[in-house]
Amino acid sequence: MAELDYIQFQQLNNELNTCDEFTIIYDELHSNNLLRGYVTAEVRRYIKEFSKSKDRLEREIRKITYFDDQEDFMREEHIRAFKDSYKEMQQRYLSKLKCKARNFDCY
């Protein structure tokens, strides 16, 4: 799960980093009739999707950012930090679950 989280984080960041380039290409396609003739409808749709998704990508990245400077983490650092964070979350959940199972007021 930690490795999947790393891959997802890297993929979303790579997409975000290319949004501006796709926006430039998209704008150029709409202003240059000659260029438009060389591009298929599928390619135009692909370019449009990646040029318009910057806000969505930023929201998605915020959802899966757990640490300061996470974008600078190497693969191994990311995986270790994710595992540590996940273990802490599981410990908190387990403590609450034990409390509920024993009918204690834990909050």
Chain centroid to CA 22: 18
Domain spans in the chain, listed from the N-terminal domain onward: 2-72
Do residues 32 and 44 lie in contact, with contact meaning Cβ atoms separated by under 8 Å? no
The tens place of each residue's pLDDT in the chain, 107 residues long, gives 889 999 999 999 999 999 999 999 999 998 988 888 888 889 989 898 888 888 999 999 998 888 888 889 999 999 999 999 899 999 999 988 888 888 766 65
